[in-house]
Structure 1
């Protein structure tokens, strides 16, 4: 059976354009793929059109708008998820404009569909005391506990994304001074993050225990499971959740409910901000494209906002606290005014 034009262009988009030309990570490509899985499901369930009958002519602005409404009303997706799916479709039709110029008008009508405003969730993060409590949970007397401590401490210190931690290899760590680690993030861009002496102690002890400091192990993954395979995002998330539960049993007040691997990244950014580290340095540590992305932490730091407002208010009071009106300084004048 001859493939449809939709099938042909979708294969080129996911298999060539996104990885080769856009340099997207595997996880980003999977997210885009999931959008089209949902679109195909929409065609099947709502339009009763099987996948081998889907053509580009059937995907116009009205259909995309109907698909987005279906996501929210039938699949109960949030506005944020709806916008993520729209972004994937926009990227596909931007690609299509160059691949098939005859469809520019069709593509531009779809590209004109607006992003839907969504409520921005507050950033979840741990306090410094919460981080200390979390890092006290792994059992340092066991090999697995020492691995987990080294990994969680590294996640926090570097502010790395969970996939960035999973992809680390032994060769990424510079084991001579100055200690650094090379982290490859979104867009396959690599950033070099300095490591502090204390962090390096934990990491080097772990690497020596697993012989990862040897030259012949340079290409080995830094964090692996019992079978020697690299830890997945799900595996790292499972490890974190285990220690979060233990920490919460010890001190519930220090461990909020909704904390994830990404929360360690948020925590590091917030703590640096609270230590008056300039946003531009935090941006470089986190691997953000623009400082505008990093500014979300400045907006989220309610403690710092309170301090600034309190200090400003106190200064005003200090300037005026001794400036009593003349009638309060002079008893006779006050009495005279009362009787006026």
Structure 2
């Protein structure tokens, strides 16, 4: 007879390492978000149930446990209804996988499916830059240097096609067609889409490749770092660092740039600017590679709220965030229990 604890972590390990990345083609960012959810849930179980992490089973993580965990996080971490539902969806996804892999576990899936979602009334906020702020940010890198040239072209291309960070880092030299002025992106779920680029972006591409791709081949990563004399794809951490750096530089001359700037804001900014320029939401949905058209409605709602705030001219204060539990975002929990450590 197999150990129920072994069954739990075996399925969890296979869900993270096989099902999501290989069978479903889930993006690394989604996998990271799911790992954080399970880190928090397992940490909560260990703290409140007094169960050592290595002894957790399917039976322990039942409906009551999950509801208590989600309610606890709403109270201590100020989770919105949207965040609550996203974390619940991640937990349910694993139980669905486990029940499919081993039908006897369907009883646990039925129990977890009894956890109700919260009604969402507020539309998620969209953090984007004004056109003036984007202009200042794109002009901040010193393109006379190699890294400045790379950083500037990366941000220009990312904004032009409203790409996700992972989509940018997956690009190869052959994905950009200068004759047609297009770029081929691979989005979530390995879904491809072809988007137009401007002639100005194409000119920046030529300058970039003259410096970084002297003898290019179509399958070379477009943005790379050198490791062991080999070109490897640039990391998203590196992108985040140089975007923050150039935002800090641009803020000295442009007060419209907020204190916190991250790469995904370029995607949001382009989508918002396209909407404000009159592009239909249906076309923006295709442009962004959204599977659900409802997702794109955030730009319409955000634009309406922006106008409403301008009329009201009010300032909303924010409360200080609660303390972060000591086990929050502990990647080592999942990695150790699922045997993912190297």
| Range into which the TM-score falls when normalised by the shorter chain | 0.7 to 0.9
Q: Is the 8 A contact 1:93 1:111 kept in 2?
A: no
Aligned to 2:337: none
Structure 2 unmatched ranges of 5 or more: 312-342
Q: Distance in 1 between matches of 2:210 and 2:286?
A: 29
Q: Is the 8 A contact 2:244 2:260 kept in 1?
A: no
Q: TM-score, normalised by structure 1?
A: 0.81
The structural deviation recorded for 1:40 is: 2.3
Provide closer, same or farther for how the CA distance between residues 191 and 101 of structure 1 changes in structure 2, counting only shifts above 3 A: same
Aligned to 1:223: 223
Q: TM-score, normalised by structure 2?
A: 0.80
Q: Distance in 2 between matches of 1:210 and 1:25?
A: 27
Match 2:238 to one of 231, 235, 240: 235
Aligned to 2:314: none
The structural deviation recorded for 1:211 is: 1.9
Aligned to 2:209: 207
Provide closer, same or farther for how the CA distance between residues 36 and 303 of structure 1 changes in structure 2, counting only shifts above 3 A: closer
Please say if 1:6 is aligned against 2:11: no
Please say if 1:157 is aligned against 2:160: yes
Q: Distance in 1 between matches of 2:85 and 2:293?
A: 22
SS of equivalent to 1:130:
helix
1:72-221 matched pairs, under 5 angstroms? 72-74=74-76, 76=77, 78-79=79-80, 80-117=82-119, 119-175=122-178, 177-211=179-213, 214-215=215-216, 217-221=217-221
Q: Distance in 2 between matches of 1:224 and 1:244?
A: 21
Q: Distance in 2 between matches of 1:5 and 1:229?
A: 36
SS of equivalent to 1:250:
coil
Count of aligned pairs between the two proteins: 302
Provide closer, same or farther for how the CA distance between residues 291 and 207 of structure 1 changes in structure 2, counting only shifts above 3 A: same
Provide closer, same or farther for how the CA distance between residues 301 and 41 of structure 1 changes in structure 2, counting only shifts above 3 A: same
- Rg larger in 1 or in 2? 1
Provide closer, same or farther for how the CA distance between residues 146 and 48 of structure 1 changes in structure 2, counting only shifts above 3 A: same
Aligned to 1:22: 24
SS of equivalent to 1:182:
strand
Provide closer, same or farther for how the CA distance between residues 129 and 221 of structure 1 changes in structure 2, counting only shifts above 3 A: same
The structural deviation recorded for 1:171 is: 1.9
Give CA-to-partner distance per residue, 1:126-147, whole Å, 9 cap, x none: 1222211111111121111111
Aligned to 1:324: none
Aligned to 1:69: 71
Bigger RCO (CA 8 Å, 6+ sep): 2
Provide closer, same or farther for how the CA distance between residues 13 and 304 of structure 1 changes in structure 2, counting only shifts above 3 A: closer
Structure 1 unmatched ranges of 5 or more: 310-340
Question: More helix per residue: 1 or 2?
Answer: 1
SS of equivalent to 1:134:
helix
Provide closer, same or farther for how the CA distance between residues 128 and 95 of structure 1 changes in structure 2, counting only shifts above 3 A: same
SS of equivalent to 2:184:
strand
SS of equivalent to 1:78:
coil
Aligned to 1:43: 45
Aligned to 2:333: none
Aligned to 2:264: 262
